Amino acid sequence: MQVLNWDKQTQKKVSRDYNHVFDKNIFKKVNRILAEVRQRGDVAIRRFTREFDGLDLPLKRIAVSEGDINRAFEKIKVSFVPLLRMITDNVREYYEKELKQSFEVRNADGIYLAKKYQPLERVGVYIPGGTAPLVSTVYMSVIPAKVAGVKEIVICTPPNRDTGEIDPHILIVANLLGVNEIYRVGGAQAIGAMAFGTRTIRKVDKIVGPGNPYVTEAKRQVYGFVDIDMVAGPSEVAIIADASANPDYVTCDLLAQAEHFGGIAYLITHSKKLIDAIRKRVDHGFIIQVKSIQEACEAANEIAPEHLEIMTEEPEKTLKHIKHAGAIFLGPYSPAVVGDYVAGPSHVLPTGGTARYFSPLSASTFIKSSQIISYTKEGLQKTREHVQKLTEMEGLVLHRIALEARFVDKKHEIKPETVAAEE
């Protein structure tokens, strides 16, 4: 690992925004794919599946059928289902405790203000393909949506290049969680299909889930047509450690990031002994040498990592100084891997420094709110003068008339069109 002192040059190196992953070529290719999917729908999906996945997929095979699900159950070990149920119970229990509640306020003037939280109606979940089936991403994304009350959940995932099939474990997890719309579509074309809708895949309200740079860029470009969870990049871990940290634990957790394509690892420490031990064991990533744990926290906040492990003598005390991180793991027996699979909170987390302003995927990701406002005539009367002054200041006469109309005698009724003409 490369050792860096925590100075202005290092701060500049680790202080990143998403300009560092912006690729003009990817932007142009994704823009072309999205435009064609928007215009040609399923025909474009089939074309891009042939071009990028090497599969000539008939249109009727885009959607996963009940028969596909039944065959998937025949291909797995019997022990998988009870294991899955134990894990998903953990995740579901966490999110059932997390949801925000609606509230209301009434005052003596007859004014009623409230906020009503409701689930999104239809959500798209992208599950990456690649070298291994990301089964955990299915339940880490679907369960929060289910707990929030989302009725329609759609999964898009790339088919296997050789067989045209989806990994049976992904199908079974989705099936057991009650997802009945699964499509053999990957890449930017999947994001486009969910954002714009095709004959086979109906438009969704929000798209969540990680993906490669093309998927990430597609999510960025469709934002506004639909909502998205975040713009995610390569996986990353930062470890704040002191001399009390076990070098073996630190080594393993840093190396685990190498299993993710483009994974980034940081060790932040003031222990020279730990630095000497780790730099010989781990090839990739950076060791940031600081003067104190306080400075280590400053470095971590600047990086704003996806996963932050705290392996110090007093991890809870260190935690008080952390402002920006996707998920924080305290102590030697809380490796990031436990958050990836079983702890409960979703492993879909902000990356690339975006933990400064993005939150992890959660049940609240799938909730939207409506503001409710109700005034009595008496309550409205008390605001009359304030509204009049503000509308005059902004020159919006008809705004004032909309309020004044509630207090005008029918004989002297104000006609907005007359006032507008006079103005």
Within 8 A by CB and 6+ apart from 302, the residues are: 11, 14, 15
Amino acid 213 reads P
Kind plus residue range of the DSSP H or E element containing 26: helix 24-40
Amino acid 274 reads L
Q: Could you confirm whether 306 is annotated as catalytic?
A: yes
Neighbours of 320 (CB within 10 A): 8
Query: Beta 122-126 vs 152-157: how paired, if at all?
Result: parallel
Q: Could you confirm whether 422 is annotated as catalytic?
A: no
Q: Which residue, chain included where needed, has tokens 């999510």?
A: 219
Q: Which residues of 60-74 are buried (b: 16+ CB within 10 A; e: fewer)?
A: ebbebeeebbeebee
DSSP string of 385-422, one letter each residue: HHHHHHHHHHT-HHHHHHHHGGG--GGG---HHHHHHH
β-strand partners of 265: 237
Kind plus residue range of the DSSP H or E element containing 220: helix 213-222
3-state secondary structure of 47: helix
CA angle 39, 153, 371 (to 5 degrees): 95
Cα separations in angstroms, 196 against 29, 41, 199, 222: 17, 8, 10, 9
Residue of 181, 306, 309, 347 marked catalytic: 306
Q: Which structure tokens are listed for 9?
A: 């040059």
Residue of 169, 270, 307, 347 marked catalytic: 307
Q: Which residues are catalytic?
A: 306-307
